[in-house]
Amino acid sequence: MLTKRIIPCLDVKDGRVVKGVNFVNLRDAGDPASLAAAYMDEGADELTFLDITASKERRATMLEWVSVVADAISIPFTVGGGISSDRDAVGLIALGADKISLNTAAVRRPELITECASLLGSQAVVVAVDVKREAGEWRVFIEGGRTPAERGGLEWCVTAARLGAGELLITSMDRDGTKGATTRIF
C-alpha cells in the first residue's frame, strides 16, 4: 500500500526562504527555522531546503541556518545546494541534516552520487532534477535552473538511481510556483 507523505520544499537564498514562479521573480518568504517549525506543526512529514544560488555562485551551502533548523524541528530534513564533494555532504549531516540533495555537481560529476551513497547510504542521498520542456523533450537544467545540461530528464533520473540515489526530487520548471495542475513529466 502506498503511503502519502507531505514533504515541503523550501528554496533558500542568502540564508532566507524565497518563493518565485518558474525559478524567477524571487521574493522573501521568511526565516528557515521559523518556517520549518511552522510546517512541522502543520503536519509535514519531512522538509527539504535547497540553497538555490550556491552552485551558480560557485560556493558551498550557507551553513549558518542548517543547525538552527535542526534545533527547531523533530522531523527529518534534507539540505541541498552547493554540495560538490562527499566532505560537503558529511558536513551537512554533522550539522543535523538527515539527507543531502545533489544537483549541479552530480550532473557535472555523476560519480559524486556513488561517493556520497557509499559514505552516507543511499537513503540519505537525494538527487534533485530540474527539468523544462524544450522541443517536446524534458531537458535537465543546472545552476538553479539557469543553465541547460546536455541530458534528458528520464535518462538522468535512471542514471542517478543506478549510481546510488535513494530518492529523486523532480521539479518541472514550467510549473514551479504557478499553482497550476501538475504535468506528467515522464
Tell me the catalytic residues. 11, 130
Output the CA–CA distances (angstroms, integers) from residue 171 to 59, 127, 131, 146, 182, in the order listed: 22, 11, 6, 14, 10
Cα–Cα distance, 52 to 69 (Å, whole number): 17
Cα–Cα distance, 149 to 10 (Å, whole number): 23
Q: Cβ(160)–Cβ(106) under 8 Å?
A: yes
- Quote the cell numbers at residue 166: 535513494
Q: Which helix (H) or strand (E) holds 141?
A: strand 137-142
176, amino acid identity: D
Tally of residues, the chain:
186
- Quote the cell numbers at residue 103: 544537483
Give the phi and the psi of residue 87 in degrees, each rounded to 5.
-65, -45
